[in-house]
A and B are shown apart, each in its own frame.
Chain A
Amino acid sequence: MAIRHYHHHYHFSYLTSKKRHFTSLIVVISAITLILIVLFKFLNPQSQVDLKDLSYQDILLASFNTLFRLFVSYVFALVLSIPIALFITKSPKTERIMLPVSDIIQSIPILAFFPVIVLAFIKLHAIEGAVIFILFMAMLWNLVFSMIGGLKTIPEDILSAAKIFGLKGFKKLWYITIPSIFPYIITGSLLAWAQGWSILIVAEALHSYIPNGSMSQDPLGLGSLLVNSFYGGQNSVFLASLAIMVVLITLINFFVWQKLLHLAERYKFD
Chain B
Amino acid sequence: MSGKNYCIWRKGINLTDVIILKNINKVYPGSKETAVSDFSVEVKDGEFLCLIGPSGCGKSTVLKMIAGLEKPTNGSIEKPLSVGMVFQSGALLPWLTVEENVAFPLYAKGLSKEKAEDLTNKYVQMVNLGEYKLKYPRELSGGQKQRVGIARALAVEPPVLLLDEPFSALDPITTDEMHSYLLKIWKETGKTIVMVSHSMEEAIILADKIAIMKEGKLKKIIDVELKRPRQEEEKNFITFLEEIKLELNS
A-to-B contact residues, CB < 8 Å: 9-11, 13, 155, 157-158, 160-161, 163-167, 171, 175-176, 179, 182, 266-270
Contact = CB atoms under 8 A, between A and B. Distances in A.
Interface of B: 64, 67-69, 83-85, 87-91, 93-97, 99-100, 103-105, 107-109, 136-138, 156
5 contacts: A157-B88, A160-B69, A163-B69, A164-B68, A179-B95
A167 B152 CA distance: 14
Contacts of B91: 155, 157-158, 160-161
Contacts of B100: 10-11, 13
Contact of B67 (A13, A160, A182): A160
Contacts of B138: 270
Nearest to A180: B93
B95 A164 contact: no
Contacts of B104: 9-11, 175
Contacts of B108: 165-167, 171, 175
B94 A266 contact: yes
A10 B91 CA distance: 18
A159 to B, nearest CB: 9
A9 B105 contact: no
Contacts of B136: 266
Contacts of B67: 160, 164
A155 B96 contact: no
Given A164-B69, A266-B94, A268-B94, A10 B88 contact: no
Contacts of A166: 108-109
A176 B84 CA distance: 18
Contacts of B69: 160, 163-164
Contacts of A167: 105, 108
Given A166-B109, A270-B138, A11 B68 contact: no
A13 B95 CA distance: 10
A11 B85 contact: no
Contacts of B94: 266-270
Contacts of A13: 97, 100
A171 B94 CA distance: 18
A175 B88 CA distance: 21
A171 B105 CA distance: 10
A165 B93 contact: no
Contacts of A155: 89, 91
A11 B96 contact: yes
B95 A165 contact: no
Contacts of A270: 94, 137-138
A160 B136 CA distance: 21
B220 to A, nearest CB: 29
Contact of A158 (B88, B93, B99, B107): B93
B83 A157 contact: no
B151 to A, nearest CB: 13
A97 to B, nearest CB: 18
